[in-house]
Amino acid sequence: MAYQMKDRGESIDFHVPESTPVLVNPASLIAGGPNPEGGELFIEFLLSEEGQQIKADWGHIPLHPDVESQTPLNAEVLEDHAMELDVDWVIENYDEARNEWQQRY
């Protein structure tokens, strides 16, 4: 969204810290949901070239190898900064980490 805002003229930029978790936009099927076949088709679409192009056009970073990122960031650039994400640590330290980032930026 930072790039969309920048394109609209907002005075904002995007910064990737030296070590940062890289999170994906998850999609999942709910066990016992009313339409598992439709859910599977939707997830396949999200991961398809067409679905990834839609995401890229919205400023998201595509993972499909045939879809070009619309921002300076792509999966290869972020891979150099990627780190393991300790979810338990995040849960235990969420408030402290959020407050630290708010003070920094």
Higher pLDDT, 19 or 47: 47
pTM score, whole prediction: 0.65
Side-chain half-sphere exposure of 40, counting CA atoms within 13 A: 4
Cα(35)–Cα(41) distance, integer angstroms: 10
Q: For position 19, what pLDDT does the model report?
A: 66
* Residue linked to tokens 């969204």: 1
Q: For position 92, what pLDDT does the model report?
A: 94
Angle ∠(77,79,8) on CA atoms, nearest 5: 45
Average pLDDT value for residue range 83-92: 84
Q: For position 55, what pLDDT does the model report?
A: 92
Smallest CA-to-CA distance from 4 within 15, 14, 19 is with: 14
Side-chain half-sphere exposure of 5, counting CA atoms within 13 A: 7
